[in-house]
Amino acid sequence: HFEELKRRLETIPGIARVTATSFEPPTPAAGVFGGARLSLPGVSDDAASAPSAVASIVMPDFFETLGIPVIKGRGITAADRVDSRRVVVINRAMAEKFFPGVDPLGRTFASYGPRAEQMEIVGVVGDVMSAGTDPTPRPVFYTPYAQNPLAVMTVLMRVPEGNPMTVAREAEAVAWSLS
């Protein structure tokens, strides 16, 4: 349970922030495995030709932990629960590509799949460069872990001082204690 793991890791001295994500900042693999077809207002509803973006599930503090600026609105918070309205944060590249010339905050879209529910855009964040050779930022959207729980996530920690390996060993022991 990643929420409990996050709580426990935050008590380790030396760890400033903890979060988790379904994918680390967009990589070529995220383009293959994290791509999602989108159902956007005013765009053809044919799934085969639908536009796509990289989908990433994140826990609260994701943007703060990685230093990704929130440009407009807000990031993912602990208030984004399974029983609250479905929300999404998009990156600048997605805002410019799919919502040109308009404020995307408050607009909705869905991604194709078993849970094709409308999600309300609550924030726009900066682009993160991928690890690939193309420097052009890809459209990315981030949904809250609490609304889309996964069994496998990547835990990310910000360790501003000290020996990160010492902290990593303590974090590993905490993770094993939960298994």
Residues 6 or more apart whose Cβ sits within 8 Å of residue 71: 92, 124, 125, 126
Cα–Cα distance, 64 to 82 (Å, whole number): 22
Return the structure tokens found at 65.
Answer: 């932990």
Cα 167 to its chain centre, rounded Å, is 24
pLDDT at 120: 96
Q: What is the pLDDT along the chain (179 residues), one digit of tens a residue?
A: 788 899 999 999 989 999 988 865 554 444 444 567 676 776 655 555 567 788 889 999 999 999 999 999 999 999 999 999 999 999 999 999 999 999 999 999 888 665 668 899 999 999 987 666 667 888 999 999 999 888 888 888 998 887 888 888 999 999 899 87
pLDDT at 43: 61
Taking alpha carbons only, the member of 109, 24, 103 closest to residue 68 is 24
Q: Are the C-beta atoms of residues 168 and 176 closer than 8 Å to each other?
A: no
Burial 144-165 (b: 16+ CB within 10 A, else e): bbbbbeeeebeebbbbeeeeee
